[in-house]
Amino acid sequence: MLKIRFHGRGGQGVKTSSRILGRAAFLDGFIAQDSPIYGAERRGAPVVSFTRISSTPITERGFIFDPDIVIVMDETLLNDWLARPLEGIKKGGAVFVNALSEFPPPEGHDDKLFITYDLTGRALEILGKPIISSPAAAAAAKITGLITKSSILEATAEELAELDLKDELVEKNIQLAAEVYDAISTPVINTQESGSITSEVSPLDYEPVSYEEVIHLDIVNLGNSALRRTGNWRIFKPIVDPQKCTGCLVCVVYCPDSCITLDENNKAVIDYDNCKGCMICLRECPLRAIYSVREVRVYA
Amino acid sequence: MRDIKVMAGNVAAVEMMRVEMLTGNVAAAWAARLADVDYIPAYPITPQTEIIETLAKWIGEGVMKAKLVQLESEHSMLTAAGTASLTGARVFTATSSQGLFYGFEMLYNISGWRAPLVLVNVSRGVAAPVTLEPDHNDVLAARDSGFLQFHAETCQDVLDLILLAYRVSEDRRVRLPSIVNMDGFYLSFTREPVNLPSQETVKDFLPPYTPTLPFRASRPVVKGASVLGGHIYTYFKHNIHESMRRAVEVFDEAARRYAELTGRLHKPVEGFCLEDAEYVLVMSNSFTTMGKRAVLKLRERGVPAGLVKIVMYRPFPSTQLVELLKNRRAVAVLDQNISLGMGGIIYQEVAGALYHQRNRPEILMSVIGGLGGKYISPEEFEYIFNALQHPEGREPNTPLFLFRKDELESVKKALGLAGLGGEMG
């Protein structure tokens, strides 16, 4: 069985990507299983999805802890302490990263093969949107070495049609998927089934009646949402042009996360630790003083 | 009202033992009044409404100090009840049947929040068909919700069990809400003599409720946070289960103290005529009185019959129950409820409790009776004991559905009136 784990951000097409791959495997005669996992759904928040491909019945469900292949759909996730996309990958496994340029394997991951391709850049050019469900699925399909090109393209068409995409956009996605499938070469993946990946069993005991007090499901450490920085949710980064900014406060008022203030020169300043990159400021600025650049933070 | 005043030389020894004719509903109201509750969110539903009417009247007259608010539904009522309890208020509320179901999702929240309020459920069969009369499918639906459950046989039990419920619920080793159940009509609207303990006695028995991390202005606290991943969820469910288990012993402690003060000892499970009993009927709630009468009649004829009444339904007192049922020849569990497609709910739980008992009864029979308040006649009780003595040919897991010929005639007549054949069809 091959286990593929997709890491991306809400809005990138993470779930659809795992579904395109799952359907393609199904079309190629394999037994497939695909599923997503996410909390409260938010654009930009880390999302994970999974595809299992096997020639025998699949006896697992849920989270893939020990993937053979990991698809990182946003390179800024590589150092996200919650997403931890590289965790548990089997020795000899492959990691695909949607990134502008190649980089050496991060420390501790020399035993894995890293493949990069700028999916977002190509998606922006061909689709005009940073949605990469089909090219990420195509990349995964090629890396597995199991999925035929015709199946991945057919699966792309079927999955996107189910999402009510216009024919023209489906066609562009197929074009993009084909390009990525052809551009990436299949690596040699030689992973071994790992043993137990969780710690030892320790059933919960019962406290005696003499126990003083029950444990309440309460949170008293308040203000802890400040610990959760949301700055790495961005796919695009808004930048203020100080030459044009007049300090009119429109962006300050419209920012849903109160991330914009004015500095001593009356110019808008964005708190990049918490800005989620929603781009409302860019749309609302009456002087077009805010522009955007693609968010890239190469793994350090 | 009949006051029995024991006059003595000093004022302190003047203990007033009031015995009054009270309905189960008014007995419940009295319990809330004696417990000195602070807040009563309410919503009317037959056969429970008399409880809140009585409390509203007392508050209006100024003889009771509490805040009673009528909400727009039972869902809001239970939400208000749980959150108020977390501020440190002692909360009382009451509902029945459809009302309990309408507020159902809040039950699990209230126990998860560890809000130790007391909810009286006046049992009423659940629609459809619509009825106002009692069976226990309403209260038993809440059995897994993290509420302690106490089931009353008499109007006196209603009062006593509410006071006991407050003490056990508020105990820091338990900190879980309680449901006290009484049967609609058979208790709710039935008057019988009830001993009212004095306010001082109840004050002595019931210490003030001291909440843990209560809601306070300028000191926010999050209760019942969302926890993804399953392990924290599991941990806290186990935590509640653990508190439930402790509640059996905490109840016994409280009951012993209550007996010292009032002379009435309540147990999680009560035996009746169990000495040398070979044929035992397990049941609960108000119909138990009639079951006891049947046992006495059989005893007169030399049949070694006995009865076990389940008072505490959650936590389920398996150990105590098994102790009373082991070595019996044959046991019948009378369920005034039905899990459709399975059978009696309590039968399954009794069977589970007995499984590991080496000396378990050879025969364990399931009986369904009293659905929608259907009367159980002396002949029907006798039928059960006859079946226990002659179990041959009976499939024990298939419940015996109590019914009578005259009732069958009546059903046929009703079908005719409805235009569905029968006598007038």
pLDDT of residue B396: 76
Q: Which two tokens stand for residue B390?
A: 């002659």
Walk along chain B (425 residues) and give the pLDDT tens digit of each residue: 444 444 444 433 334 579 999 999 999 999 999 999 999 999 999 999 999 999 999 999 999 999 999 999 999 999 999 999 999 999 999 999 999 999 999 999 999 999 999 999 999 999 999 999 999 999 999 999 999 999 999 999 999 999 999 999 999 999 999 999 999 999 999 999 999 999 999 999 999 999 988 999 888 899 988 888 899 999 999 999 999 999 999 999 999 999 999 999 999 999 999 999 999 999 999 999 999 999 999 999 999 999 999 999 999 999 999 999 999 999 999 999 999 999 999 999 999 999 999 999 999 999 999 999 999 999 999 999 999 999 998 887 799 999 999 999 999 999 999 998 755 44
- With beta carbons less than 8 A apart as the criterion, state whether A67 and A18 touch: no
CA-to-CA dists, residue B410 to A297, B133, B368, B380, angstroms:
81, 18, 19, 17
Considering only residues B268 and A229, tell me which one the structure prediction assigns the higher pLDDT: B268
Residues 6 or more apart in contact with residue B308 via CB below 8 angstroms: B269, B270, B271, B272, B274, B280, B281, B282, B283, B321, B324, B325
Whether residues B213 and A216 touch (CB distance < 8 A) is answered with yes
Which residues of chain B does A207 touch, with a Cβ-Cβ cutoff of 8 Å? 242, 246
Return the residue matching tokens 């924290």.
B232
Give A51's strand partners.
Answer: A4, A34
Smallest CA–CA separation between B215 and chain A, in Å? 11
Q: Which two tokens stand for residue A95?
A: 């990691």
How far apart are the C-alpha atoms of B403 and B29, rounded to whole Å?
A: 35
- Give the gyration radius of chain B's Cα atoms: 22
CB-hemisphere CA count at 13 Å for B389? 13
Residues 6 or more apart in contact with residue B173 via CB below 8 angstroms: A209, A211, A212, A213, A214, B243, B246, B250
How far apart are the C-alpha atoms of A12 and B370, rounded to whole Å?
A: 59
CA-to-CA dists, residue B56 to B40, B63, B123, B144, B199, angstroms:
9, 10, 22, 31, 19
Nearest by Cα to B107 from B76, B148, B78: B78
A82, A207, A218: best to mutate for the B interface, most B CBs within 10 A: A218
Comparing alpha-carbon positions, the chain B residue that sits nearest to A220 is: B221
pLDDT of residue A297: 64
Whether residues A212 and B172 touch (CB distance < 8 A) is answered with yes
pLDDT tens digits, one per residue of A21-39: 999 999 999 999 999 987 7
Whether residues A211 and B221 touch (CB distance < 8 A) is answered with no
Closest in A204, A211, A215 to B246, CB measured: A211
Smallest CA–CA separation between B2 and chain A, in Å? 42
Smallest CA–CA separation between A186 and chain B, in Å? 34
Whether residues A214 and B236 touch (CB distance < 8 A) is answered with no
Smallest CA–CA separation between B125 and chain A, in Å? 35
Considering only residues B122 and A11, tell me which one the structure prediction assigns the higher pLDDT: B122
Whether residues B223 and A214 touch (CB distance < 8 A) is answered with no
Does domain A229-294 bear CATH number 2.60.40.10? Answer: no
pLDDT of residue B98: 97
How far apart are the C-alpha atoms of B317 and B314, rounded to whole Å?
A: 8
Domain architecture of chain B: domains with CATH: 2-211+224-262 (3.40.50.970), 269-410 (3.40.50.920)
Give B148's strand partners.
Answer: B178
Nearest by Cα to B118 from B139, B144, B88, B148: B148
Q: Which two tokens stand for residue A222?
A: 């308040």
Q: Which two tokens stand for residue B277?
A: 């009993």
- With beta carbons less than 8 A apart as the criterion, state whether A117 and A184 touch: yes
Q: Which two tokens stand for residue B193?
A: 């003599």
How far apart are the C-alpha atoms of B425 and B420, rounded to whole Å?
A: 6
- With beta carbons less than 8 A apart as the criterion, state whether A157 and A170 touch: yes
User: Could you give the strand order of the β-sheet that contains B178-183, starting from the edge strand earlier in sequence?
Assistant: B92-95, B118-123, B178-183, B148-151, B312-314
Whether residues B239 and A214 touch (CB distance < 8 A) is answered with yes
pLDDT of residue A196: 64
Q: Across all residues in chain A, what is the average pLDDT? A: 91
CA-to-CA dists, residue A123 to A78, A181, A294, B257, angstroms:
21, 14, 12, 75
pLDDT of residue A195: 67
* DSSP string of chain A, one letter each residue: -EEEEEEEETTS-HHHHHHHHHHHHHHTT-EEEEEEE-SS--TTSEEEEEEEEESS-----S--SS-SEEEES-GGGGG-TTT-TTTTPPTT-EEEEE-SS--PPPTT-TTSEEEEE-HHHHHHHHTSS---HHHHHHHHHHHHT---HHHHHHHHHHHHHHTT--HHHHHHHHHHHHHHHHHSPPP----------S----------TT---PPP-EE-STTGGGGS--GGG-SEEEEE-TTT-----HHHHH-TT--EEE-TTS-EEE-TTT-----HHHHH-TT--EEEEE------
| Cis? peptide before B315, omega within 30° of 0 | yes
Residues 6 or more apart in contact with residue A131 via CB below 8 angstroms: A11, A12, A13, A123
pLDDT tens digits, one per residue of A181-205: 999 999 888 887 766 667 788 888 8
How far apart are the C-alpha atoms of B238 and A106, rounded to whole Å?
A: 41
pLDDT of residue B14: 36
Residues of B in CB contact (< 8 Å) with A are: 112-114, 172-175, 212-213, 220-225, 228, 234-236, 238-239, 242-243, 245-246, 249-250
- With beta carbons less than 8 A apart as the criterion, state whether B282 and B334 touch: yes
How far apart are the C-alpha atoms of A139 and A147, rounded to whole Å?
A: 10
Q: Which two tokens stand for residue B289?
A: 């009185």
- Residue A266: alpha-carbon gap to chain centroid: 37
Q: Which two tokens stand for residue A289?
A: 């003083």
Architecture of domain A2-183 in this structure? 3-Layer(aba) Sandwich (3.40)
- What residue ranges do the domains of chain A occupy? 2-183, 229-294
User: Could you give the strand order of the β-sheet that contains A113-117, starting from the edge strand earlier in sequence?
Assistant: A31-37, A46-54, A2-9, A69-72, A94-98, A113-117
Q: How many CB atoms lie within 10 A of CB A94?
A: 25
Pairing, β B67-70 against β B39-42: parallel
